[in-house]
Amino acid sequence: MSQAQAVAHHIALTLPDGKVKKFDTTPTGADLAAAIGPSLAKAAVAVRVDGEYRDLLRPIEQDAKVEIVTRTSEYGLEMIRHDCAHVMAEAVQELFPGTQVTLGPNIDNGFYYDFYREQPFTPDDLSKIEAKMREIIARDAKLTREVWTRDAAISFFKARGETFKVEIIKDLPEGETITIYRQGQWLDLCRGPHMPSVGKVGTAFKLMKVAGAYWRGDAKNPMLQRIYGTAWRDQKELDLYLHQLEEAEKRDHRKLGREMHLFHQQDEAAGSVFWHPRGWTLYRTLEGFVRSRIENDGYVEVKTPQLYDSSLFKASGHWDLYGDNMFKVQADNGEKWLGIKPMNCPAHVQIFKQGLKSYRDLPIRMAEFGACHRNEPSGALHGIMRVRAFTQDDAHIFCRADQITEESLRYFKLQLGVYEDLGFKRESIKVKLALRPGPEKRVGDDALWDRAEEGLRQSLRTAGLEFEELPEEGAFYGPKVEFHLIDAIGRSWQCGTLQLDFNLPERLDADYVGEDSARHRPVMLHRAILGSLERFIAILIEHHAGKFPLWLAPVQVVVVGVTNEADGYVVEVAATLKVAGLRVETDTRNEKIGYKIREHSLQKIPVLAVVGMRDAEGKTVVLRRLGSEEQQTLSLTDAAKMLAEEAKRP
RNA sequence: GCUGCAGUAGCUCAGGGGUAGAGCAACUGAUUCGUAAUCAGUAGGUCGUAGGUUCAAUUCCCACCUGCAGCACCA
């Protein structure tokens, strides 16, 4: 646009390949792209100047390392989505005058924009908005950047009744350049950069859903309406994404849980799970696996009560901080309040406190498959991922301060080993370090928090784990490391956790006798590998799309008879496989073989052993694996031996 | 908890002011078959619950319950 002012000196721009382009006048990114080639000039949507992304038409005033950003690049896609959000906001304000705009950032696979409007947007409105967006994109208005003064921006938006926008501007840090992006008649406050014109957004976008969202993420604030959209470079990419979403829905644990007869849930027990025989087999297999691992790792297992007098939770701090989310029971004609345990830690401290402990006893690694109840808000419930009744594979490690690092490292090793054996690759596990919450939400003094946070940070580094720090997300008694896994549609769930706690031993008065024969406070490490068995099984179902590895599959083999003549042999085969330790069922129904194969395949049975009269005579079985059409004929003895070997727990 | 949407047969879903329909599953019979759906027949529902409007409600209205999506929460 306006690079009219010639400057005295040359400007040298260095391209990624090392070549240098020189300009006599102040160039823009567009000039640069044109100087490189006409096709690039056409494809360019932005320019990166010394690492900073900028509008194509902004003058580049100094020598710099530069890179042309095209629509097809990763950043180009980000720009498509962000521009698309602006187009959506324009469409909404054109269609629904009086609607206020607030913020509209990019997210994974798309974008959203939050609006304030009394009347709700209906799904029908979404298609209207989408149509209007296509109109706006077809108009292809130029997108231009303007720098405004704070006062000008405030009075402009105030005059328009955009109170949320005014608040945003007022909160911008002092000295921040306030930029406005104009597209035709419409404009928005935005940091940018944007593509040269709205037409570059293209047509490969779709509005997905409307949902409520609190202004500034605070439940005390008014609720805005958030419209989510997805946008891609071309229709092919969009179709692929929508197809992936459809595929992901097929992995949903709620759907597979029902179809595979694993569990069900019902209104009368909202937030709880009815485990069916197959699901409970899966549950017990997983529990047994973890139990064997922790037994090998020096844990002792305990079982503690469900109900406690409120005094215990008052002492621990849970009653005050989480009382609203606990199930409470009145007892002794209302003279007493009991609480159903929402976690196991105070109970484990009670066991620790029985008898005098010496420094020689530490560390004590006390584990429990502890059933807990939390009165989760109704909107938080989600299948069996977030429930009100769940079982943690919980443990508390009571140790001395000098054992923290060693114990943390030991836990990391155990935890990653378990995940690996359950089929999770390292890159699908996200590690986070949640730091101290606000003062009103935590107990203990700052020096303790400093020590605890630094302790975990060091352990993570020593373990060589990459992690993200989350300020203000820690537990009330200590910071925590979280191991997150991803569900079918990309939502991240905390599963394993390690929490360092200097506070509960103090509040619950736990101590041990040290070398100096004085009393000391132990440190508590709260840890869970799977987290909640319920949630982990949900993740496991979605991760494997129901196709469990043989050792985990609730039914490992179905022996399918070809004709009823072979029924006797079917029973014999099943008996032999059972003796070999396999979980086996038979299918002697009077149905065609293809029908039975189809049905058991849909049930995701890993191995089908098909036998007819030929096999009965030769004492053979024909194995068919899930997902393969191959047939493997073996002697019954060999098949039993081989499958038993394959089904061994890792 | 908040905003929006939804709840019809075991499952997936259609319908709509005059007390409901399909496919699959189930059951019965025939068929005895060699690797992803054999054929025929039968049965199955207080249309989430409770009120209201109406001659008449599963349909419209209200409340509640539950679920879904997101937000908030997650010891």
Same domain, A59 and A113: no
- The CATH number covering residue A535 comes to 3.30.930.10
Average pLDDT over residues A334-353: 96
User: A289 pLDDT band (50/70/90 cuts)?
Assistant: very high
Same domain, A237 and A369: no
pLDDT of residue A528: 98
Active-site hit among A83, A394, A487, A615:
A394
Query: Nearest-CA residue to the C1' of B65?
Result: A267
Whether pLDDT at A334 is above 70: yes
Whether pLDDT at A316 is above 80: yes
Domain total for chain A?
4
Task: For residue A260, tell me if it sits in a domain.
Answer: no
Same domain, A534 and A567: no
A303 is catalytic: no
CA of A381 to C1' of B6 (A): 17
A396 is catalytic: yes
Active-site hit among A84, A190, A345, A495:
A345
pLDDT of residue A8: 52
Query: What's the CA gap between A385 and A362, in Å, rounded?
Result: 35
pLDDT of residue A9: 66
Same domain, A401 and A367: yes
Q: What angle do CA A547, A552, A554 make, to 5 degrees?
A: 80
Which nucleotide is closest to A560, CA to C1'? B35
Return the bridge partners of A228, or none.
A112, A209
- The CATH number covering residue A580 comes to 3.40.50.800
Q: H or E stretch including A484?
A: strand A480-486
Same domain, A142 and A121: yes
Same domain, A380 and A528: yes
Task: For residue A562, tell me if it sits in a domain.
Answer: yes
Domain boundary among A49, A70, A91: A70
User: A70 pLDDT band (50/70/90 cuts)?
Assistant: very high
A139 is catalytic: no
Which nucleotide is closest to A388, CA to C1'? B74
Task: For residue A101, tell me if it sits in a domain.
Answer: yes
Q: What percent of chain A has pLDDT over 90?
A: 93
Identify the residues numbered 21 to 50 in chain A whose C-beta atom is closer than 7 Å to any atom of strand B.
none
- pLDDT, tens digit, 9 for 90 and up, residues A467-509: 999 999 999 999 999 999 999 888 999 999 999 999 999 999 9
Distances (CA, A) of A358 to A510, A532, A590, A624: 12, 32, 68, 58
Q: H or E stretch including A624?
A: strand A620-625
Task: For residue A131, tell me if it sits in a domain.
Answer: yes
Same domain, A535 and A394: yes
Which nucleotide is closest to A476, CA to C1'? B75
Whether pLDDT at A2 is above 50: no
Which nucleotide is closest to A477, CA to C1'? B75
pLDDT of residue A67: 95
Query: Nearest-CA residue to the C1' of B34?
Result: A562
* Token reading at A64: 């710099």
For strand B, give the nucleotides within 7 A of a protein CB.
Answer: 1-5, 11-12, 30-38, 65-75
Q: Which residue has the tokens 């502890």?
A: A370
- pLDDT, tens digit, 9 for 90 and up, residues A366-379: 999 999 999 999 99
User: A210 pLDDT band (50/70/90 cuts)?
Assistant: very high
CA of A118 to C1' of B63 (A): 23
A499 is catalytic: no
Task: For residue A268, tell me if it sits in a domain.
Answer: no
* Token reading at A557: 């083999």
Active-site hit among A86, A194, A480, A604:
A480
- pLDDT, tens digit, 9 for 90 and up, residues A538-551: 999 999 999 999 99
Average pLDDT over residues A352-379: 97
- pLDDT, tens digit, 9 for 90 and up, residues A118-141: 899 988 899 999 999 999 999 999
A484 is catalytic: no
- pLDDT, tens digit, 9 for 90 and up, residues A133-179: 999 999 999 999 999 999 999 999 999 999 999 999 999 998 899 99
Same domain, A45 and A124: no
A374 is catalytic: yes
CA of A600 to C1' of B11 (A): 17
- pLDDT, tens digit, 9 for 90 and up, residues A108-119: 999 999 999 989
Q: H or E stretch including A453?
A: helix A446-462
pLDDT of residue A387: 97
Higher pLDDT pick, A510 / A192:
A510
Task: For residue A332, tell me if it sits in a domain.
Answer: no
**A138-147, A217-226, A281-290, A439-448: range with lowest mean pLDDT:** A439-448
* Token reading at A375: 């009165």
Average pLDDT over residues A288-317: 97
Average pLDDT value for chain A = 95
* Token reading at A645: 């070997």
pLDDT of residue A123: 83
User: Whole domain around residue A168: which residue ranges?
Assistant: 75-247
Same domain, A537 and A577: no
Domain boundary among A21, A47, A70: A70
Task: For residue A267, tell me if it sits in a domain.
Answer: no
Strand B atom within 7 Å of A575 CB: no
Identify the residues numbered 522 to 551 in chain A whose C-beta atom is closer than 7 Å to any atom of strand B.
526
- The CATH number covering residue A14 comes to 3.10.20.30
Query: What's the CA gap between A408 and A358, in Å, rounded?
Result: 21
Q: What percent of chain A has pLDDT over 70?
A: 99
Return the number of other C-beta atoms located less than 10 Å from residue A301's C-beta.
13
Which nucleotide is closest to A249, CA to C1'? B68
Backbone angles phi, psi at A358, to 5 degrees: -105, 160
Which nucleotide is closest to A313, CA to C1'? B75
Model-level ipTM above the cut of 0.85:
yes
Residue (of A361, A353, A358, A344) closest to A298 by Cα position: A361
Strand B atom within 7 Å of A107 CB: no
Same domain, A521 and A579: no
Q: Are A310 and A337 in contact (CB under 8 A)?
A: yes
Query: What's the CA gap between A451 and A192, in Å, rounded?
Result: 41
Same domain, A520 and A638: no
Same domain, A507 and A364: yes
pLDDT of residue A10: 83
Task: For residue A56, tell me if it sits in a domain.
Answer: yes
CA of A243 to C1' of B24 (A): 24
- pLDDT, tens digit, 9 for 90 and up, residues A384-427: 999 999 999 999 999 999 999 999 999 999 999 999 999 999 99
Is the alpha carbon torsion for A372, A373, A374, A380 positive or negative? Answer: positive
Average pLDDT over residues A279-286: 98
Average pLDDT over residues A623-633: 96
Strand B atom within 7 Å of A604 CB: no
Is the alpha carbon torsion for A414, A418, A420, A421 positive or negative? Answer: positive
- The CATH number covering residue A179 comes to 3.30.980.10
Average pLDDT over residues A72-77: 96
Domain boundary among A48, A70, A92: A70
Strand B atom within 7 Å of A377 CB: yes
A84 is catalytic: no
